[in-house]
Amino acid sequence: MKIRSALGALVAFAMLSAPAAAAGPAVSVRDAWVRHAPMLEGEAAKSGTGNGAVYATLVNAGAKADALVSASTDAARAAEVHETYQDAGMVMMRQVEQIVVPAGGKVELKPGGYHVMLFDLKRELRTGQSIPLVLTFRDAGKVSVTATVR
Amino acid sequence: MLSLLRALPAVLLAWTVSLPAAEPLRSGTFTPPRAAPEFALHGTNGGDVRIQGFHGKVVALSFGYTSCADVCPTTLAYLAEARKKLGAAAGRMQVVYVTVDPERDDLARLRKYMNAFDASFIGATAAPDLLSAMRKAYGVTMTREPSKTNPADYLIHHSAYIFLIDPAGYLRAIMPFGVTPDDIAHDVGALLAG
């Protein structure tokens, strides 16, 4: 009995102090979605099965900036962190090393801006379905996300 | 610049409020309108794609490629949404999407891709030199950028405007990338109304 309550107190203390000590997972991902896309097959797929883009809002509740550095999903051969930008009337897309999420702030991945590019889809992305995705942050590590197909 | 283009017609309208003025377009306009540069392409509709074939319709013409992840699907999704917003007039809006990547985008690939957005959309391709001449006529530029992670792969940087050609074949408006479905539907509707 004595041991039990002592253990209980210890556990309670650990639970109370844990968030303060480890700061908890500061980064969360909201409203992840992926644009519907066909998966090209047969003759139409000789140059790849098609690509896609995932969008989401990255929220950092922590006191230190973090950054999205990579992504992966089983719905595509590969995933990379990209941005769309404009220059001299052209719209361009390129890979970026990271997307910084400021302390106490958020960053939106949205059409025409930051996105996770999916290379060679492994299945058709149909509206209403969803795909699993792992976003890796420099400090927060891996965050599992479900992206709804829109 | 865009807000200026938008604000200007509003200011002019305020002065001519008593006149039955045609509703101004929200996009940049070609003044005076000129005949849209001709083109002759192979379409996913199984036939030739030429301006004369679309008389009586507003053609929303844009350029892109099917391996594009963000820009092209966004443009096509917005065009599809705009067409839905037109309701009964949707049948008089024709989207023509011209590939900037003829090497990878054959008709089979373009057809599957267009169908994912709107089965009425026509994807089009042609011999590379013809596509190049067409881009020049419309002021569309592109460059190929090899992928950093996969040397066999490449991205294409390209102009992502939407051009609006009126039912008489005149090039009337140019919309920048990211223009909303509302604005597209508004301007297509205005051109249909004459």
State pLDDT tens for residues A27-37.
999 999 999 99
Distance, in Å, from the CA atom of A42 to the CA atom of A49, rounded to the nearest integer, reads 9
Residue A52 lies in a domain: yes
Local confidence band at B14 (pLDDT 50, 70, 90 cut-offs): very low
Domain count, chain B: 1
Distance, in Å, from the CA atom of B126 to the CA atom of B38, rounded to the nearest integer, reads 13
Distance, in Å, from the CA atom of B24 to the CA atom of B1, rounded to the nearest integer, reads 16
Residue A133, domain CATH = 2.60.40.1890
Residue B175 lies in a domain: yes
Q: Is the pLDDT of residue A106 over 80?
A: yes
Q: What one-character DSSP code corresponds to residue B38?
A: P
| pLDDT given for residue A24 in this prediction | 60
Local confidence band at A7 (pLDDT 50, 70, 90 cut-offs): low
| pLDDT given for residue A23 in this prediction | 53
Q: Does A3 touch chain B (CB under 8 A)?
A: no
Residue A85 lies in a domain: yes
Domain count, chain A: 1
Q: Does B159 touch chain A (CB under 8 A)?
A: yes
| Domain boundaries, position B117 | 29-192
| Segment B156-185, tens digit of pLDDT | 999 999 999 999 999 999 999 999 999 999
Residue A137 lies in a domain: yes
| Domain boundaries, position A86 | 24-149
**Of residues A45 and A113, more confidently modeled:** A113
Residue B129, domain CATH = 3.40.30.10
Handedness of CA B73, B76, B79, B85 (dihedral sign): negative
Residue A131 lies in a domain: yes
Q: Which residue of A has its CA nearest to B156?
A: A92
Q: Does B135 touch chain A (CB under 8 A)?
A: no
Residue B88 lies in a domain: yes
| Segment B77-123, tens digit of pLDDT | 999 999 999 999 999 999 999 999 999 999 999 999 999 999 999 99
| pLDDT given for residue A43 in this prediction | 79
Tell me whether 0.90 is exceeded by the ipTM. Answer: no
Q: What is the dihedral of CA B183, A111, A133, B156, to 10 degrees?
A: 120
CA B45 to each of CA B82, B96, B117, B123: distance values in angstroms, whole numbers, following the listed order: 21, 10, 15, 8
Residue B12 lies in a domain: no
- Which helix (H) or strand (E) segment holds residue B2: the answer is helix B2-15
Measured between beta carbons, the chain B residues lying within 8 angstroms of A84 are 70-71
Residue A11 lies in a domain: no
